[in-house]
Amino acid sequence: MNEHIRLGNEALKSGDYETAKIEFYAALGDKDELVRRIAQNRLMELFPTTVIDSQSSGLYHREDCRAGLSVWYRNTVRFKHWMEAEENGYRPCSNCSPPRLKPFSPDAS
């Protein structure tokens, strides 16, 4: 198993979500497709993308985006990941550039 995946899982067991996030993002750069798939799935499960429904813009943001933080709480919707947000008509914010992890495809080389 990849060292970053192992460290991320250990961090989750101890409740250190920030370290887990750092380790799983580091694992996305691995050469092994399976390791990248595991890291991608862990990130999507643990850190959902906050989608901002501002009635007029229909953008989704990172949780720390200044534009996203300025939207009223009652207008915020959580989606599990960016694909679900885009399926519902939202677009990524150009200021914060939320991560758009590509879905795993076993046929890709």
* Number of domains the chain contains: 2
pLDDT at residue 40 in the model: 80
Residues 53, 86 share a domain: yes
Residues 40 and 68 in one domain: no
Spatial CB neighbours of 78, under 8 Å, sequence gap ≥ 6: 48, 49, 50, 51
Q: What is the pLDDT of residue 105?
A: 46
8 and 42 fall within a common domain: yes
Q: Is the residue at 82 inside a domain?
A: yes
**Cα–Cα distance between 92 and 62 in angstroms, integer?**
9
pLDDT along the chain (109 residues), means of 10: 90 90 88 87 72 67 72 71 78 73 48
Backbone angles phi, psi at 49, to 5 degrees: -80, 130
Position 71 in a domain: yes
Q: Buried b vs exposed e over 46-75: b needs ≥16 C-beta within 10 Å?
A: ebbbbbbbeeeeebbbbeebebbeebeeee
Q: What is the pTM of this model?
A: 0.51
**Both 53 and 72 in a single domain?**
yes
Considering the domain architecture, whether residues 62 and 42 belong to the same structural domain is answered as no
56 shares its domain with 26: no
Query: Which residue range(s) make up the domain with 25?
Result: 3-46
Residue 4's SS3 state is: helix
**Do 26 and 37 belong to one domain?**
yes
71 and 85 in a common domain: yes
Spatial distance between the Cα atoms of 108 and 68, rounded to a whole number of angstroms: 34
Residue 107 domain-assigned (yes or no): no
Distance CA 59, CA 92 (A): 6
